[in-house]
Amino acid sequence: MDWLIAGLGNPGSDYTKTRHNAGFCFVQELALRQHASWRLEKAWKTELARIEVDGNDVLLLQPQDFMNRSGAPVQAAAAFYKIPPARILVVHDDLDLPVGVARFKWSGGHGGHNGLRDLDRALGTRDYWRLRIGIGHPGHRDRVVNYVLARPGAMEEREIHAAIDRSLGVLDDFLAGRQEAAMKTLHSE
């Protein structure tokens, strides 16, 4: 296995189209485009799909526990498939980016994101790739929980999906080791 791409979100129909599930949306769209099917791995509390992207064998993962417990499923799959943290791409919603903006990032802090906080703890490092999908900010920290757990309006939803689509458009370069080229293209849009 060459890469692990983990989309972060909350399981269950109540959360399906919420802002917090932008990571799930990314991996689901990637699996759909690759005609991959998901299977539940109960022992790791995750759904998995395997795809091939430009010669790279890629494991897609959707943790099936809540966002703040995303780390254990990612760590378990990475350990089993012997995928080092440097070959993990975590896709997540980001309050600090405007709606519809997507950015790759290597390493760094969790920025208050509970899924990343748990991943840092489970992996024992912050040195993994992130793909940040901008969902905007509600304006005040007291509104954050309700905001991320709500469904975006129709225009915001289109912009989030457009960011996901642009990100998928540079994924071949990213996975082939051309991260700088992928970042330059995505970050200039």
What is d(CA 38, CA 27) in angstroms, rounded to the nearest whole number? 10
Is residue 118 within 8 A of residue 68, CB to CB? The reply is yes
What is d(CA 88, CA 20) in angstroms, rounded to the nearest whole number? 20
Helix (H) or strand (E) run with residue 36 in it? none
Quick count: other Cβ atoms within 10 Å of Cβ 115? Answer: 25
Question: Smallest Cα–Cα separation from 71: which of 60, 83, 63, 59?
Answer: 63
Q: Does 20 qualify as catalytic in the annotation?
A: yes
Structure tokens at 128: 């993994």
Structure tokens at 105: 């990032």
Structure tokens at 125: 């490092």
Q: What is the DSSP letter of 5?
A: E
Annotated catalytic residue, options 20, 113, 140, 161: 20
Is residue 166 within 8 A of residue 134, CB to CB? The reply is no
What is d(CA 37, CA 24) in angstroms, rounded to the nearest whole number? 14
Active site residues: 20
